[in-house]
Amino acid sequence: MKRLVAALCVTGLAVTSAVAEDAPPSIPAAVLAPGAAAQSPALVGMLREAETWAAYKAKFVTEAGRVVDTANGLVSHSEGQGYGLLLAVAAGDRAGFERIWGWTRANLAVRDDALFAWRWEPDHRPAVADLNDAADGDILVAWALTEAAEAWSEDAYRVASRRIAVEVGRKLVLWKAPDGPVLLPAVAGFAAEDRSDGPVVSLSYYIFPAFARLGLAAPEFDWERLSGSGLRLIEASRFGEHGLPVDWISLAGGKPHAADGFAPNFAYNSIRIPLYLAWGGIGKRDHYQPFVATWSKQGSQNLATLDVNSGNSIDRLDETGYGAIPALTSCVASGTPWPAALKSLPAAGNYYSTTLQLLSLVAVRMRYPSCLHE
């Protein structure tokens, strides 16, 4: 017993450094534990399928750098621009990155702050539809710029990523919320002042792999804590017989529930939750379980969005790319090999499903390369 106690003594002294590392909640962890963000894997080079990326660009990216949502009136949004930027970094395509970033700032940076107008419609005057932003788009762009700055040591990207990340941390996160930080989906419209059931959140806006890296750009914010509270929110947001989250969740009253005025569906937004979990390399088997169970029950040919209350299917997700997220969760949960077909661009398929497929491919290579057998 003596030796054991002695060993503990040593640990005890070493552990005292936690006093510094932990400090009060609003003290940024990333600065205190320098390198936490730097230790998280980098994105560059994670999309090695050059033909797939080229085909993606030919299909969805205009020469001007606009990422086109082909199933949705050919509009663009900050989210799509963010995805395009991330894929360009992952593909090591600096010229492509510059093209997409050039369009993004020239057309969406019209707000009077560092965030982006979220929606752009080519057949309207003006094309910007709303001066409100979308937190996921802002975060994706800031993260992509952070990765680009790391990958190519580019000052311009570093300055821009910091300006955006700071604005996200300042305007979109309720850092002192009682159950941990809450990410608002936009500057306007979702807070407690804006809606009787506010704050309303979308769990699919908690982009965990971005939180793991934003400390490089804005270390004064505790992005890790935001990840932690997002993870707990996912645990607490299990509705209906499938135990799935809905796209829009009200946090009013403390217990998460479906937000007013939104269909109680596990749908296009929420399907990204397991993608971000896996891509962030976080979560336990239990976090993936409802998704894995639902999709294995549906079968890969019958993926669909669901009404979580009735358990009924709403929309079929029949484009090939959607299958990449179930493939990713199967890889995480049981090491299922990545289907070869999901490495190349499907002949048919719109912007969203195809983008999700490429993002999933990047995520699996970054976090679960054994499923790729490379």
For residue 319, indicate whether it is catalytic.
no
Residue by residue, DSSP assigns 255-292 as S-EEPTTS--EE-TTTTHHHHHHHHHT---HHHHHHHH
| Part in contact with another protein (CB under 8 A); list of ranges 2-10, 204-212, 241-249, 305-313 | 2-10
Q: Does 191 bind another protein (CB under 8 A)?
A: yes
Sorted by sequence, the CB contacts under 8 Å of residue 37 that are 6+ apart come out as: 30, 212, 213, 214, 215, 216, 219, 223
Q: Which of 39, 95, 153, 255 binds another protein (CB under 8 A)?
A: 95
| Part in contact with another protein (CB under 8 A); list of ranges 3-11, 273-281, 305-313, 339-347 | 3-11
Report angle CA 146, 147, 150 to the nearest 5 degrees: 90
**Spatial distance between the Cα atoms of 90 and 102, rounded to a whole number of angstroms:** 18
What's the residue count for the chain? Answer: 374
In this structure, the dihedral spanned by the alpha carbons of residues 332, 223, 177 and 203, taken in order and rounded to 10 degrees, is: -40
Q: Does 211 bind another protein (CB under 8 A)?
A: no
Q: Does 256 bind another protein (CB under 8 A)?
A: no
Q: Which of 139, 140, 184, 362 binds another protein (CB under 8 A)?
A: 184
Q: Does 212 bind another protein (CB under 8 A)?
A: no
Question: By CB under 8 A, what part of segment 8-67 binds another protein?
Answer: 8-9, 11-13, 15-28, 31-32, 50-51, 53-54, 57-64, 66
The active-site residue out of 69, 121, 136, 138 is 136
Q: Does 171 bind another protein (CB under 8 A)?
A: yes
Q: Does 193 bind another protein (CB under 8 A)?
A: yes
The active-site residue out of 69, 79, 138, 224 is 79
Q: Which of 80, 82, 169, 230 binds another protein (CB under 8 A)?
A: 169
**Spatial distance between the Cα atoms of 373 and 344, rounded to a whole number of angstroms:** 16
| Part in contact with another protein (CB under 8 A); list of ranges 148-156, 266-274, 296-304, 330-338 | 148-156
Q: Does 219 bind another protein (CB under 8 A)?
A: yes
Q: Does 285 bind another protein (CB under 8 A)?
A: no
- Label residue 283 left, alpha or beta by phi (over 0 means left) and psi (-120 to 50 means alpha): left
**Spatial distance between the Cα atoms of 216 and 261, rounded to a whole number of angstroms:** 38
Structure tokens at 74: 């050919």
Structure tokens at 125: 């005057």
| Part in contact with another protein (CB under 8 A); list of ranges 105-113, 292-300, 318-326, 356-364 | 105-113
**Spatial distance between the Cα atoms of 37 and 146, rounded to a whole number of angstroms:** 11
Residue with token string 């809905």: 246
Question: By CB under 8 A, what part of segment 300-339 binds another protein?
Answer: none
How many residues at the interface with another protein, by CB under 8 A? 109
For residue 79, indicate whether it is catalytic.
yes
Q: Known catalytic residues?
A: 79, 136
